[in-house]
Amino acid sequence: MIYLDTSVVLAHLLGEDRQPPPRLWDETLVSSRLLEYETWTRINAKQLGEPYARATHTLLGRLALVELSPLVLARSLEPFPGMPAIRTLDALHLATCDYLHRHGRSIELASYDARMNSAAHSISLRVYDFDKQES
């Protein structure tokens, strides 16, 4: 199961230079409900119009979204080893990943954010390898 960070979703929707590989979209994808709010905030701020709104609805519809439950929120308040200055939204995403991992899910974090990836490693989460070759 691949946990998508907002950086990956926005890179895909906005056609950034850094694009997730097509094989990513064949995986089981999950994220926090937070991703929905972060994504729409950026799409709306850029005033991109109906084609982007449709693409956003379609992409978000493919994801399993985990609610920000009291357990997830509580985990975000705990420290992340070796990461003294983690950002609030990153902590919420990582807490969601950690929650899923602790409840028996095999999770890989897909993020373009080096700080997120470092924090994931600090709590023994796997990080998605965007560069691995297709078999």
DSSP β-ladder status, 29-32 and 108-110? unpaired
- What pTM was computed for the model? 0.91
- Are 7 and 120 contacting, i.e. CB atoms less than 8 angstroms apart? no
User: So what's the architecture of 2-127 in CATH?
Assistant: 3-Layer(aba) Sandwich (3.40)
Per-domain boundaries in the chain: 2-127
Tell me the C-alpha distance between 74 and 76, whole Å.
5
pLDDT band at 105 (very low <50, low <70, confident <90, very high): very high
- Sign of the alpha-carbon dihedral angle for 95, 100, 102, 107: negative
Range list of H helices, 1-135: 6-14, 33-45, 50-61, 70-76, 88-102, 114-122
pLDDT band at 84 (very low <50, low <70, confident <90, very high): confident
What is the total residue count of the chain? Answer: 135
